[in-house]
Structure 1
Amino acid sequence: MTPPVFDAAAIERVATTDLVLDAVRDALIAHAKGQTTVPPPLHLQFPDADGDCHVKAGLVTGAHDFTVKIATGFYRNPAAGLSCQHGLVCVVSARTGQVRAILDDKGLLTSRRTAAAGALITHAMARPNAATLAVFGTGEQARLQVAWLAGLRPISTVLVHGRHPGRTRALCEEFTAQGHRARPASAEEAAGADMVLTTTPATSPVLQAVHVRPGTHVTGIGTDMPHKNELPPDLFARAALIATDDHEQCLDHGDFGHAVRAGATTATGDLPAGLLLDGPFARPDEAVTVADLTGVGALDAAVASAVLRELAR
């Protein structure tokens, strides 16, 4: 029998913020405790089209389903009126191996999974009174990270740093229309915010460690392939606490790995991000903390399974 195919509109109706946050939180905690199976991701690059493709698989121990996901990012697409992100998720029975459904989400679940992970980790690792937020980048993830983090804690000011002044101003106007106090900022000013999120496909660091103030938390979400790099190694040298969503992935192709190879930190200098979501931990007010998120297949599996349960109702 041909498995059902659900389109992005149907998926969007059920992939609520609460559903995705709950699924991602639980999956990060399970992953930190070794209760998942996640093979290394497959990467393809398309330099002539400024694009890349990721194939990720994952299983949460005891779950009825596992997933195989294709996610693409083609960064010239907006000039043609197209989204940068596309893809689909194949949900497969972990009992019989039969394909249960195709979620033709056009990259929606990847975007929301990434937004949830970034917001959860940033909220957990930032100082309780941290209120100013800076985002590097002007794409969909910059929008989502601000929106999802604002749902978890008050944000007094949003600083936006982008390569294109027009896009930067436009994004600030969007944030202002949503009720935020937002404005463009230089890289130096943005790096001095209480919370910093980098959401770019950069191949060299987008900020300087010297501009990051004591007490700041920085989350990088864009370094998901070996040639990408958002955060400078010397930022990791300053960090009192480093969290990674997947140790091996971040060591292989994350900003954490770049820092280890540069000698700025050790290969055992990180903690699983999920452990920081599972209970309270000590965070000195003056400490710099860093999270490196490369995207974990088990999170995709948890979100897709939750979405499919809602679609089946």
Structure 2
Amino acid sequence: MTPPVFDTAAIVRATTPEMVLTAVRDTLIAHAHGRTTVPPPLHLQFPDADGDCHVKAGWVTDTPDFTVKIATGFYRNPTAGLPTNHGLVCVVSARTGQIRAILDDQGLLTAWRTAAAGALATHAMARPDAATLAVFGTGEQARLQVEWLARLRPIDTVLVHGRSLDKTGALCKEFNTLGLHARPALADEAAAADMVITTTPATVPVLQAGHVRAGAHVTGIGTDMPHKSELPPGLFARAALIATDDHQQCLDHGDFGHAVRAGSTTDTSDTPVGLLLERPIERPDGAITVADLTGVGALDAAVASAVLRELAP
């Protein structure tokens, strides 16, 4: 029998931010305690098209489904009027191996689970009184990171740093429409915010370690392939606390791994971000904290299963 295929419109109707945040939080905690199965991601690069593809799989122990997900990013697409990201999620029974459903989400669930993971980590690791947020990047994920973090804590000011002045201005206008008081900022000013989130496909660091102020928190989410890099190794040397979503992945192709190979930190200096979500952390006001998030396949499984329960109860 042909498995059902659910399109983006159906997925949007069935999904709430609260559902995604809960699934991501619970799964990051489970992952930190070894209650997931996550094989290494498969990566493909298409240099001539400025594109890449990830294939990720994951399963949360004792849950009925696992998933295999294809996610693509083709960064010239906007010039042709096409979205940068695309993809789908295949939900498979962990009891029979039968394909239960195809979620033709066009990359939306990946975007949402990434936004949830970044927002949760930033909220947990930033100072309680941190209220100025800077985002590096002007794409969909930059927008989502700010909007989803604003669900978890008050934000006084949003600083946006991007390569395109037009896109930076447009994103600030969108944030201002939501009452988030946004404005463009140069890289050094953005790096000095209370909270910094980087959301780019950069291959070299987008900020300088010395521009990050004492007491700040930085979350990097764009370094999801070995050739990418957003956060400088020197930032990890300054950090009092380093969190990773998956230790081995972040060593292999995260900014944490780049810092380890540069000698700026050790390969045992990180803490699973799930442990920091499980209980409140103690952080001196002047400490710098860093989260390196490379995307865990078990998050896709948890979110897709939660959505499918709504679509096909």
TM-score range relative to shorter protein: over 0.9
Q: Report SS of the residue matched to 1:256.
A: helix
Using the TM superposition, give the Cα deviation of residue 180 of structure 1 relative to its aligned residue in structure 2, in angstroms: 1.1
Per the alignment, residue 274 of structure 2 pairs with: 274
Partner AA of 2:89 in structure 1: V
- Give the Cα separation in 1 of the matches to 2:144 and 2:251: 26
Instruction: Within 5 Å, give how 1:131-170 maps onto structure 2.
Output: 131-170=131-170
Q: Report SS of the residue matched to 1:275.
A: helix
Count of residues in correspondence between the two structures:
313
- The reply to whether residue 246 of structure 1 matches residue 246 of structure 2 is yes
- Give the Cα separation in 2 of the matches to 1:62 and 1:284: 38
Report the TM-score when normalising by structure 2. Answer: 1.00
Per the alignment, residue 224 of structure 2 pairs with: 224
Partner AA of 2:4 in structure 1: P
Partner AA of 2:108 in structure 1: L
Contact 2:125–2:281 (CA<8 Å) still a contact in 1? no
Per the alignment, residue 102 of structure 2 pairs with: 102
Per the alignment, residue 308 of structure 2 pairs with: 308
Segments of 5+ residues of structure 1 without an aligned counterpart are none
Instruction: Within 5 Å, give how 1:138-217 maps onto structure 2.
Output: 138-217=138-217
Using the TM superposition, give the Cα deviation of residue 248 of structure 1 relative to its aligned residue in structure 2, in angstroms: 0.2
Deviations 1:98-157 (A, max 9, x none): 000000000000000000000000000000000000000000001000100000000000
- Give the Cα separation in 1 of the matches to 2:47 and 2:280: 43
- Give the Cα separation in 2 of the matches to 1:141 and 1:280: 26
- Give the Cα separation in 2 of the matches to 1:307 and 1:173: 31
- Give the Cα separation in 2 of the matches to 1:10 and 1:215: 43
Partner AA of 1:171 in structure 2: L
- Give the Cα separation in 2 of the matches to 1:14 and 1:31: 25
- Give the Cα separation in 2 of the matches to 1:80 and 1:63: 41
Partner AA of 1:274 in structure 2: G
Per the alignment, residue 20 of structure 2 pairs with: 20
- The reply to whether residue 83 of structure 1 matches residue 86 of structure 2 is no
More divergent stretch after superposition (106-115 vs 277-286) = 277-286
Contact 2:67–2:90 (CA<8 Å) still a contact in 1? yes
Q: Report SS of the residue matched to 2:12.
A: helix
Using the TM superposition, give the Cα deviation of residue 3 of structure 1 relative to its aligned residue in structure 2, in angstroms: 0.4
Contact 2:124–2:281 (CA<8 Å) still a contact in 1? no
Report the TM-score when normalising by structure 1. Answer: 1.00
Per the alignment, residue 42 of structure 1 pairs with: 42
Percent of aligned positions that are identical = 80
Segments of 5+ residues of structure 2 without an aligned counterpart are none
Deviations 1:166-191 (A, max 9, x none): 11011111111111111000000000
Partner AA of 1:204 in structure 2: V
Using the TM superposition, give the Cα deviation of residue 281 of structure 1 relative to its aligned residue in structure 2, in angstroms: 1.9
Q: Report SS of the residue matched to 1:154.
A: coil
Partner AA of 2:40 in structure 1: P
Per the alignment, residue 52 of structure 2 pairs with: 52
- Give the Cα separation in 1 of the matches to 2:107 and 2:235: 31
- Give the Cα separation in 1 of the matches to 2:27 and 2:202: 27
Deviations 1:30-76 (A, max 9, x none): 00000000000000000000000000000000000000000000000
Per the alignment, residue 66 of structure 2 pairs with: 66
Per the alignment, residue 122 of structure 1 pairs with: 122
Deviations 1:203-261 (A, max 9, x none): 00000000000000000000000000000000000000000000000000000000000
Q: Report SS of the residue matched to 2:287.
A: coil
Q: Report SS of the residue matched to 2:24.
A: helix
Partner AA of 2:86 in structure 1: H
- Give the Cα separation in 2 of the matches to 1:34 and 1:296: 13
Q: Report SS of the residue matched to 1:28.
A: helix
Using the TM superposition, give the Cα deviation of residue 312 of structure 1 relative to its aligned residue in structure 2, in angstroms: 1.1
Compute the RMSD of aligned alpha carbons: 0.4
Partner AA of 1:52 in structure 2: D
Partner AA of 1:309 in structure 2: R
Using the TM superposition, give the Cα deviation of residue 280 of structure 1 relative to its aligned residue in structure 2, in angstroms: 1.6
**Deviation above 4 Å: which 4+ runs of structure 1?**
none
More divergent stretch after superposition (13-22 vs 189-198) = 13-22
